[in-house]
């Protein structure tokens, strides 16, 4: 889709989708300019305006969750209001809302089944990925009628495996559970490749290789996106998805 917010449109079947960037909002300072998070000490009126602009861009009211790095999945009620709940993934078959998941180095993962019409968004940081948030999201989509063989996914801008430095014991623990996450920084220290881990998980869940769009920038290297590793005081961008 064409965006006025400096966003990237992922390759995703059966849905309108985008990953926002930093541009196009009204926030200032460290949060400039399209910060979508209300918990990072930005001016609340600015965040409300930013969210309003994003809702207009995607053409539907936005549904957020209170993200806590869990593997909890929220399935929206079939009709009515969608109050904010604590979870790290959202699933729905509804056409009247758009799902939004916020990040600033973690993986924003968008999932769509163009056959059943079921869509989902997931926040997959290290804890969530290792805790099974993607598997739980696919399971919830399946309960609504999706089939893994029909699913398509986009893994958006996030810190890359050459930049996400971690202690050696943390890399070893992650690799013991998801071998594809093991990585090394460009300067030779232990690292995690969450994107590779997410791809491996989705393929293990039955996704076809060509149904996974994983070609997106590193948030630490690309200043078009917020990055917590670059600056602890920063905003959040989002992966946004609406059933087509």
Whether 14 has a pLDDT exceeding 60, the answer reads: yes
Q: Please, how many CA atoms are within 13 Å of residue 99, restricted to the half-sphere of its CB? A: 31
Write down the pTM of the prediction. Answer: 0.97
Q: Is 198 helix (H, G, I), strand (E, B) or coil?
A: helix
pLDDT tens, 145-156? 999 999 999 999
Find the DSSP H helices in the chain. 44-58, 126-131, 133-143, 168-177, 194-204
| Distance separating alpha carbons of residues 183 and 171, to the nearest angstrom | 8
**What was the pLDDT predicted at 2?**
41
**What was the pLDDT predicted at 4?**
62
| Distance separating alpha carbons of residues 38 and 47, to the nearest angstrom | 6
Residues composing the chain: 244
Pick the CATH number of 15-159+216-243 from 3.90.380.10, 3.60.140.10, 3.40.50.620, 1.20.58.480: 3.60.140.10
Domain ranges of the chain: 15-159+216-243
Beta bridge partners of 152: 112
**What was the pLDDT predicted at 41?**
96
Q: Report the mean per-residue pLDDT for the chain.
A: 96
What percent of the chain lies above the pLDDT cut of 90?
93
| Distance separating alpha carbons of residues 18 and 164, to the nearest angstrom | 24
Question: Binning pLDDT at 50, 70 and 90, where does residue 11 land?
Answer: confident
Number of neighbouring beta carbons within 10 Å of residue 206:
14
Mean pLDDT on 217-241: 98
DSSP 8-state secondary structure symbol assigned to residue 5: S
**What was the pLDDT predicted at 139?**
98
């Amino acid at each position: 889709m064409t965006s006025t917010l400096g966003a990237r449109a992922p390759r995703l079947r059966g849905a309108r989708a985008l990953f926002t960037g930093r541009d196009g909002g009204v926030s200032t300072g460290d949060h400039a300019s399209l910060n979508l998070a209300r918990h990072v000490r930005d001016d609340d009126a600015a965040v409300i305006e930013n969210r309003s602009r994003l809702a207009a861009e995607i053409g539907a009211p936005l549904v957020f969750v209170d993200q806590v790095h869990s593997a909890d999945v929220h399935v929206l009620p079939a009709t009515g209001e969608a109050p904010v709940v604590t979870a790290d993934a959202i699933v729905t078959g509804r056409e009247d809302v758009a799902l939004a998941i916020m990040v600033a180095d973690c993986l924003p993962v968008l999932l769509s089944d163009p056959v059943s019409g079921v869509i989902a968004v997931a926040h997959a940081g290290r804890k969530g990925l290792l805790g099974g948030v993607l598997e739980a999201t696919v399971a919830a989509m399946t309960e609504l009628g999706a089939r893994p063989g029909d699913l398509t996914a986009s893994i958006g801008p996030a810190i890359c495996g050459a930049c996400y430095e971690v202690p050696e014991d943390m890399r070893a623990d992650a690799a013991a559970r998801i071998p594809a996450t093991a990585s090394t920084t460009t300067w030779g220290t232990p690292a995690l490749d969450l994107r590779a881990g997410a791809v491996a998980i989705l393929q293990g869940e039955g996704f076809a290789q060509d149904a996974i769009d994983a070609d997106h920038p590193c948030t630490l290297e690309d200043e078009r996106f917020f990055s917590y590793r670059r600056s602890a005081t920063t905003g959040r961008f989002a992966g946004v998805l609406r059933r087509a």
